[in-house]
Amino acid sequence: MNEYADLKLFPTLYSVISALRICPISLISPTGTNIKASYLTDEQRMSHANFQLLWIEAGEGYYRVNDRNLWADPGSLFLLTPDDVLDPSGLAGTQYWQIVFEVDLSTTATWTQAEVDPNQSEERLLVSLLRLQSIESRCFQVSPDAHASWLARLQQLKFELSHAPIGFTTVAQLLLILLLRDAAKLAKPQLNQCSIQSHQLLANVFCFIQENYQKGISLCDVAKAVGRSPTYLTDLMRRETGQTVLSWIIEYRLSEARRLLLSTNESVEQIAKLIGYPDTGYFIRQFRKHSGVPPKTWKQNQLRTAMPLLQQTG
C-alpha cells in the first residue's frame, strides 16, 4: 500500500472520483497491448465524452493533432479532447502509453461549483485541466525525476485493467485521477489564468439551467438570471466550455430525456413536455440529431442490448 501513501495528503481525490465520474476505458502500453476495460452501461455512456492522455516513455517522434505536428520526446505528455483529430503514425519510433477515458458531461454543474470551493483544490485543478481549449495549452513535459512515478502508476493501471481483481474499477479510477492531478499541476500556469469570478458565473449558469430546463428558457433568460448580457455570456461560455448556452440547455434536456425513456413508461409526448419541449415533433428532431435515431428506436436499442445481460444475471 506504500504506492498509495500520498493519498493521505490528498483526501479530496475520493470526492473527485465521485464528482467528476472519470472512467478509464482502454489503455495501450509500449508493448502494443491494447486493453479494453469499459464498465459503463450504454445509458451512462450517452452522457460521457472520450478524452485521451498520451505519455512518451522513450524515443522521439511527431504526434499530429488536428493540423499540427507536435514534437514528442521522453516525458512528453498530451491531453486530447473529444474534438481532436489524431494521427499517431509519427510515434512509430517511440514507446508510449495511451489512456482513453470517459468523463460524465452531465456533472458539469458539480464541476463548476467545485472550482470555487477552496477546500476542493483537486477538483478545481482537474476541472480546469479538462476545459483547456488550445492544443498548445494541453502539451506538457514530465520532468525526468517524475518518470519513475508515472511509469509505476501506468504499469499498475495496466495490471488493474487487464486482470480485473476485486475492486479494480475504484483502483483504476484512482490511478487515473492521480495521473490527471499531476498533469494539472504541470498545467498550472495556464490554469491560473482562469478567473474565479468566471467560474462562479458559470456555476450560476449551470444551476439556473438545471433548475429551469423544463421551462422554455432561452439565452436571454439565462443571461438575465445571472446579471450579464447575452453577448457577454455567449462569449464566456464558448471560451470556457467550447459550447453555447443553448447547447448546454439542449444537452441537459436530452440527458434527462434518455433517463426518463429508460426508467419510466412515459410516452414520447409526455417526456417531451416534461423536459421543456411542448412541440413533440421538434423534440424528436433534436433527439435524432444528437443520438442518431428517434427516441422510441433509441429506447428499443438500449433494451435489446440490456436483455442478454439481464438474462445472464437472472
How confident is the prediction for the chain on average, in pLDDT?
Answer: 78
Burial class (CB in 10 A: 0-12, 13-18, 19+), 94: buried
pLDDT band for 267, please (50, 70, 90 cuts): very high
pLDDT, residue 177, reads 85
CATH number for the domain running over 196-306 = 1.10.10.60
pLDDT, residue 308, reads 44
Question: pLDDT > 70: what percent of the chain?
Answer: 73
Domains of the chain by residue range:
2-191, 196-306
Q: Which of 155 and 216 is assigned the larger pLDDT?
A: 155
pLDDT, residue 73, reads 94
Residue carrying the nine cell digits 485541466: 129
In contact, 216 and 276? CB cutoff 8 Å: yes
Which of 17-21, 161-165, 248-252 reaches the highest mean pLDDT?
A: 248-252
Residue 292 has pLDDT above 80, yes or no: yes
pLDDT digits (tens, 9 = 90+) for 80-139: 988 788 888 999 989 999 999 888 765 544 444 444 343 445 666 677 787 777 787 889
Look at residues 119, 131, 16, 140 and name the one whose alpha carbon lies nearest to residue 73.
140
Residue 310 has pLDDT above 60, yes or no: no
Q: In sequence order, what are the residues at sequence separation of 6 or more whose Cβ sits closer than 8 angstroms to the Cβ of residue 35? A: 26, 27, 28, 29, 158, 161, 162
Give the span between the Cα atoms of 77 and 313, in whole angstroms: 41
pLDDT, residue 18, reads 52
Strand, helix or coil for residue 181 = helix
pLDDT, residue 111, reads 47
Give the span between the Cα atoms of 197 and 137, in whole angstroms: 21
pLDDT, residue 112, reads 45
Question: pLDDT > 90: what percent of the chain?
Answer: 28
Q: For the stretch 126-146, what's the b/e string if a residue is b when 16 or more beta carbons lie within 10 angstroms of its beta carbon? A: bbbbbbbeebebbbbebeeee
pLDDT, residue 228, reads 92
Q: Which of 121 and 73 is assigned the larger pLDDT?
A: 73
Residue carrying the nine cell digits 472519470: 22
CATH architecture for segment(s) 2-191: Sandwich (2.60)
Give the span between the Cα atoms of 229 and 78, in whole angstroms: 36
Q: Which of 212 and 82 is assigned the larger pLDDT?
A: 212
pLDDT, residue 151, reads 94
pLDDT band for 285, please (50, 70, 90 cuts): very high
pLDDT band for 283, please (50, 70, 90 cuts): very high
Distances (CA, A) of 14 to 2, 87, 175, 281, 284: 17, 34, 11, 43, 39
In contact, 149 and 69? CB cutoff 8 Å: no
Element (H, E) at 139: strand 139-141
